[in-house]
Amino acid sequence: MYDRESVVQLQVMASHVWEFLGSHRVFLFVMACVLMLTRRYLRFLNATRFFPPGPPRLPFIGNALNFDQAYPHQTFLKYKKIYGPVFTIHLPNPIIVIADFDLLKKFNSLFGNELAGRPSGYIYGLFSKHQPDGDGIILCQGERWSAQRRFALRTLRDFGMGKSLLENKINDHLSLLLKRMDSYLENDNGVCKANIDLSLHLSFCVGGIINDLVMGRHHYFGDPEFLYFKKLIDNTLKGFASPSLQLVDAVPLTRFIVPYYRQYIREGFAIQNYFIEEIKKHMKTFDVTTEPTNFIDAYLKDMSETHSHSKHMSIQTLAIDSGDLWTGGMETTVTSILWGVLYLIHYPEVQTKLHDEIDNVLDVTPAMVSERHLLPYVQATIDELLRIINVLPWGIPHQALADVEVKGHTIRAGTTVMMQIGAVHFDETIFPEPEKFKPERFLDEYGNYKPHKKLIPFGMGKRQCLGESLARMEVFLLFVSLVQNFSFHAINDKLPTIERRAGMTSVPHPYICEIRKRHKNLIMANDSQNEK
């Protein structure tokens, strides 16, 4: 038992401590933060002790300010010269960069599985409920990822990826695009022409193809639902790569002070809900006994039939898979064609050669994928385009799933690894004068198409682009058809800028160009298509 005096003394002491804490609250909070950050920083220094060398970095922001955001390949190549082909950068988390074709090839064959992970940071984890291996296809790893990837590849192949079935689908949407463009043209002194911003037209065409494949849906041109959804995806992609959200990814506490964070989660969840609502509609109407014609129905059918791998398949995962196919397939392809037209405006001699080849070989018949070998200059131009535009300048980061030895350094399991495609495409020992647009580099002395094994726009190894065959078909059919039907010019000889914009995807600045019709009638594979 305590006597009364000691109790009073204790109460007085407690009230002093309470008072002290009250008046020094801010000080204590700051001290706690400093201690926490110091501990984090020391742990971080310890973890990165054995990393390959790299440029000096600033606390919290790492090397973010060192990079040319619109032309990151130039910064990567500069570091490669100083630190060798494998180096470490901090954005602000540490990333080991592999910036050499031979090493990429070697590591992909030796450690394909070990380097096939994806970093699951705080920012993306929000949408996958922070599952340790992520969810969906793009930002997922391990068994869940292989189940999704295998299923998606099989389904797209069943729908005819790389075959004529899909070619017909692409041609349906392409015909709508050509007719729509044609409807804008007016006769001006015998020339049928108009000034057009192609970006929305191409988005509806490519978005139409992917919507068709993923949801079996069609949106008419200008449909506000499509525009709203596209805006959500564009914003989320832009936000994902922004320095402020990268900071939140590295130090999640900063989410309380980053103003854009709230908008990011709101829009990210709106995308997920969009797909979940769509899936619910499919659940009401799909029939297990019929052949599915879109990805969502195929997935639901598989879920209802095979319970064996059902632990990796769920409605939530299907919603993320659908979003991944949409984001993976939309912006990359639209951007490639937009750049293609822009380069033709800047290089009219290339445009003339394309017109000559297409007119000589195809005349007024539409292009077919199976006949692309007849068009060597077209193939060379598309390869050069995919090389120079470097559509994913930062790539999609990988994560080491086990310790791997790289040039005397150990990449520890859990480390982020970047397979730098731009450092290969702009390596002057592989592609001389890499900043110049020269389709001829993909032709031999007789004018035959000469593919280059070091051209890797779709990446390599286990994570190589899942939609490569679809993308190659789309780019070929759209590009040839646009060039066959139209010619593209600067308006009043004022060239639109060819400078790049910073971002996760290398997108051109918006531009309008003059489009002239080349033949009296449109040349298209499927002229029965009409906009609903």
Nearer to ligand HEM, 298 or 419 (CB): 419
Nearer to ligand HEM, 97 or 523 (CB): 97
Measured in degrees and rounded to the nearest 5, phi and psi for residue 93 equal: -70, 155
Nearer to ligand HEM, 328 or 517 (CB): 328
CB of 314 to ligand HEM, least distance (A): 18
* Binding map of ligand HEM across residues 359-398, x = CB under 6 A, - = no contact: --------------------------------xx--xx--
- The candidate with the shortest Cα–Cα distance to 102, out of 454, 464, 456, is 454
Nearer to ligand HEM, 87 or 479 (CB): 479
176 binds ligand HEM (CB under 6 A): no
Query: Side chain identity at 234, as an amino acid letter?
Result: D
Nearer to ligand HEM, 192 or 396 (CB): 396
Spatial distance between the Cα atoms of 6 and 3, rounded to a whole number of angstroms: 6
CB of 145 to ligand HEM, least distance (A): 7
**Among residues 324, 357, 384, 427, which is the contact residue for ligand HEM, using CB under 6 A?**
324
CB of 491 to ligand HEM, least distance (A): 27
68-89 burial: b if 16+ Cβ within 10 Å, else e: ebebbbebbbebbeebebbbbb
Nearer to ligand HEM, 279 or 466 (CB): 466
Nearer to ligand HEM, 490 or 502 (CB): 502
* Binding map of ligand HEM across residues 442-471, x = CB under 6 A, - = no contact: ---------------xxx---xxxxx--xx
If you compute the radius of gyration of the chain from its CA atoms, what whole number of angstroms results?
27
Nearer to ligand HEM, 328 or 439 (CB): 328
**Among residues 77, 137, 298, 342, which is the contact residue for ligand HEM, using CB under 6 A?**
137
Non-local CB neighbours of 50 within 8 Å, separated by 6+ positions: 409, 410, 412
The Cα-based distances of 85 to 102, 392, 420 in angstroms read: 10, 19, 10
Nearer to ligand HEM, 149 or 230 (CB): 149
Whose structure tokens read 């939309």?
330
- The candidate with the shortest Cα–Cα distance to 475, out of 361, 395, 397, 375, is 375
Spatial distance between the Cα atoms of 43 and 94, rounded to a whole number of angstroms: 13
- The candidate with the shortest Cα–Cα distance to 490, out of 315, 328, 342, is 342
441 binds ligand HEM (CB under 6 A): no
Spatial distance between the Cα atoms of 170 and 176, rounded to a whole number of angstroms: 10
Number of residues that bind ligand HEM (CB under 6 A): 26
**Among residues 332, 381, 505, 506, which is the contact residue for ligand HEM, using CB under 6 A?**
332
Distance of CA 348 to the CA centre of its chain: 29
Length of the chain: 532
CB of 392 to ligand HEM, least distance (A): 5
138 binds ligand HEM (CB under 6 A): yes
Binders in 336-355 for ligand HEM, by CB under 6 A:
336
303 binds ligand HEM (CB under 6 A): no
Binders in 78-117 for ligand HEM, by CB under 6 A:
none
Distance of CA 191 to the CA centre of its chain: 39
* Binding map of ligand HEM across residues 465-504, x = CB under 6 A, - = no contact: xxx--xx---x-----------------------------
Residue nearest to ligand HEM (CB): 467
314-333 burial: b if 16+ Cβ within 10 Å, else e: eebbbbbbbbbbbbbbbbbb
Spatial distance between the Cα atoms of 470 and 473, rounded to a whole number of angstroms: 5
Non-local CB neighbours of 339 within 8 Å, separated by 6+ positions: 385, 389, 391, 508
33 known ligand binder: no
Known binding positions for heme: 465
Q: Residues in the site for ligand HEM, rule: CB under 6 A?
A: 137-138, 149, 324-325, 328-329, 332-333, 336, 391-392, 395-396, 419, 457-459, 463-467, 470-471, 475
